[in-house]
Structure 1
Amino acid sequence: MRVITTLLFFFAFKAAFCQSVQIKPNEIVVPTVTTFPTSSTGSFVFKLPENALFTYDGTSWKQLQTVSQEGFSSSIGSYNNCCTYPNSPSVAYLNSPSFKYGNGTLTNNSYQVDKSGVYQFSATFTAGTFDSNPVNYFLTIYIFKNNTIFRLNSFTNLSSATNSTSQTSDFIYLNSGDIIQLKIAHNYTGGMSPNANGSHFSLIKIY
């Protein structure tokens, strides 16, 4: 909203001094060009054949960018192989998402990216149950891209207390078609289940 308001004031100011900008009841019309003119910093034009707005930064013309919303957030379910023992990195089961934007494909064990760009991910796994006999445990959380590990974090020397957590988050560039998965490894010999309030996986496109 602030960006829109700023643009409205900018175009109103330009219209007062430049006849090429038109303010109509339901629209603001900026100059349409096929080649970039010599201009001053802050100028706007609508460029053909790109059919896009460009602004001049004092050095070159830059196309105004929009970010397509894409991503999801989901809690981790207890019905999945990641909770059994013995356990190697196993895919965590994703519940129905609390939200999902865009055209990416979300299943109960993966997310396939629709649009390339920079994404932020956040993954947390909190143990809801442990074996009854206190020993040292580990819990490792992995993020896989196209079946290859690219992030992990391990929580070690756990006792029988519940709510021990392993988590990881970062920014990463993803290409259209990349498949992202959350996997878990542990050595809880009696098996375990996630704490529903402390186990989730989120992925959001930011640029």
Structure 2
Amino acid sequence: MLGLKLPTDPRWANIASKNIEEILIDHAWCEQKAASTAISLIINYPEYPELVEEMIALTEEEMSHFKMVHDKLTERGYTLGWHRKDIYVTELMKFFPKGGSRKDQLIHRLLYAGLIEARSCERFKLLSEQLEDKELKLFYKKLMISEANHYTMFLNFARKYGNPEEVNKKWQDLLTYEAKIIQSFSDGESIHG
């Protein structure tokens, strides 16, 4: 369903389970960044009322996820820690050239967001299947469904606002590029790395 060209090594979930504090901290900041992305799309593309409405709802949802993850941290005696740079996202955002029309920029941002949500969905699925902590397994299963919905929403907007054939081509090219990024990472203690 997600179309990812390179699935995550299943061993990633085992590494993650041994470093759950780091995973939860990274996950919390990922939710905050997702909310910030939605706000940025509202600010930069107010001429798309349907997009604005969906991004308002997404901002609220992502911040509720941030709170949920933060609650999981505090329940376990952990603290949020400092904001972290996401190397995966930094590398991913190098794919499309800067500039171009406003519409091209919008399409690229929607595709980036869709792919980030797809990879998160895949990672949450692994956590929901392989974590020993039953509460966290259920937590990640619920979030996996949410991420899948976000992934399809972003792709649908990209296809709506751009030429569907061109968008599909860009999507496939981005998926290929993303696979190389994933391949270059060691199995780390982050949601995307």
TM-score range, shorter chain: under 0.3
Normalized per residue, which structure has more helix? 2
User: Comparing both structures, which one devotes a greater share of its residues to strand?
Assistant: 1
More RCO (CA 8 Å, sep 6+): 2
* Pair member with larger Rg: 1
* TM-score, normalised relative to structure 2: 0.24
